[in-house]
Structure 1
Amino acid sequence: MGSRMPYRKNESAPSRRDEILRCAAEIFEAKGVGQTSIEDIAQAVGVKREAIYYYFKGRNEILAEIVLPQSTALLLSIQQILDAPMGFPEKLKTAILSHVQSLAPGYLELTLTMRELSNLSEDEKLEELRGMWKNYTDLWSELVRQGQESGSFKPGLSPKMVAFGLLGMLNWMSRWYQPGKGASLEEIAETYATLAMQGLVED
């Protein structure tokens, strides 16, 4: 009789750690991070709270692990757009499209980032995330500044204030956008890009 094949864990099945992150993201989005306890997450996963602490130090670390991948992707995207060989109006439009469309694969993650990050207590990982989002804002400001220097964008406007205004408009989507309801991400991106271009691009 042949020997049995060794047992292998199903690699396609989500790990317990991934399951914790998924459940936590859903609860954070529904209740808010500040109103969510480790016990809430443990009940959603179906484990004792001690099991959560086996994987994570606490709620802030869970949040950081949820939002870090999407935040990193956005930062890389705006840097690549700045470095790309295209005109500044096209860079602006591409940056807006990139930001809006990033909600498609990571709706919960980015919603949590935009809603919660500025309201949470001090924490090393969250400070890292805040630093990333500051860099992201600075790169938007740099895009505007370079566009003004090239003569593509209207002079006399503060690049920093323009960046804050654009990102405020884009990030407010986290308050009202619902996947599959109302306008599509493509329609929203085109609308926002048109508004920005009309306000910034020199005739």
Structure 2
Amino acid sequence: MAAPRRRRTAATDPESDIARRRLERRQASGRRSDVRWAEILAGAGRVFARLGYGQSTLEDVAGEVGISRATLYYYVGTKEELLVGLLHDPIETMRTRLEEVAALPLPAPERLAAALREYVRTMAELPELFVFLSENVHQVMTGPEADHIRDNADRYGRTLAEVIRSGAKAGEFRTDIDPSVAVLGIIGMFNWIHRWYNPEGERSLEDFGEDFIEMSLSSLTPKNS
């Protein structure tokens, strides 16, 4: 698959002194630990969840955080930078948790169930992932950090497919379903939890997750079992 062309923005092609300084701040190792930057990301997450990424503006984020547009501009120049900063660590956390589960010395069905429970647990702990699921973010993100997000998401899918593939080889899963296709179906189902989940409703994320895990395992169980 060809890599999408990257748009030229102030963040990636700094032509002004202000843009250059902002780029230097973004690349500085300490920015992620900066308290104000954390507040800005948290505010952006709330705005994107409430209004949708496409409808949100930097002015909306500044108002949510309680700072001026000029102050926000000191930290970030585009809405895209906020999205990348918001999703970078959660996507990596989800991927590393899956890889830890996939390496466990357990039968493939147990590893698959454990991996999907970790998926739901991570979504509950890091609600900013709902922004990733509800928006077609692959079409709006550019730059090295965005590439890192996409790489983590791709590695997640490959690792989950390998769990299913190992189960098929061991006779624990069906062999007539392509593991990559199975992953698309399973992740597609889990990714839509955010459409149905109501924090005020009777069913928790874990309730949805357990039902989906049962459906996933049942669909992969060998026909003669």
Per the normalisation by structure 1, the TM-score is 0.86
Q: Is the Cα contact below 8 Å between 1:34 and 1:120 reproduced in 2?
A: no
Q: Spell out the pairing of 1:77-92 with structure 2 (5 A cutoff).
A: 77-92=97-112
Q: CA deviation at 1:198?
A: 0.9
Give the whole-Å Cα distance in 1 for the aligned partners of 2:54 and 2:204.
30
- Structure-2 residue corresponding to 1:125: 145
Give the whole-Å Cα distance in 2 for the aligned partners of 1:46 and 1:190.
40
Deviations 1:75-117 (A, max 9, x none): 011111111011111011111111112222112x110111222
Give the whole-Å Cα distance in 2 for the aligned partners of 1:93 and 1:173.
16
The range that moved more, 170-179 or 14-23, is 14-23
RMSD: 1.6
2:161 aligned with 1:144 = no
Which runs of 4 or more aligned residues in structure 1 lie more than 4 Å from their structure 2 counterparts after TM superposition? none
The range that moved more, 140-149 or 174-183, is 174-183
Q: Identity across aligned pairs (percent)?
A: 28
2:184 aligned with 1:164 = yes
- Structure-2 residue corresponding to 1:112: 131
Give the whole-Å Cα distance in 2 for the aligned partners of 1:123 and 1:181.
39
Q: Is the Cα contact below 8 Å between 2:117 and 2:209 reproduced in 1?
A: yes
Q: CA deviation at 1:58?
A: 2.1
Q: CA deviation at 1:125?
A: 2.1
Deviations 1:112-145 (A, max 9, x none): 1112223424333222211211111111111111
The size of the alignment, in residue pairs, is 189
The range that moved more, 75-84 or 14-23, is 14-23
Give the whole-Å Cα distance in 2 for the aligned partners of 1:79 and 1:32.
31
Q: CA deviation at 1:44?
A: 1.7
Which runs of 5 or more residues in structure 1 are unaligned? 1-13
Per the normalisation by structure 2, the TM-score is 0.78
The range that moved more, 92-101 or 41-50, is 41-50
Deviations 1:5-48 (A, max 9, x none): xxxxxxxxx92222211111011011111211111111222222
Give the whole-Å Cα distance in 2 for the aligned partners of 1:197 and 1:20.
40
Q: Is the Cα contact below 8 Å between 2:88 and 2:148 reproduced in 1?
A: no
Q: Is the Cα contact below 8 Å between 1:82 and 1:91 reproduced in 2?
A: yes
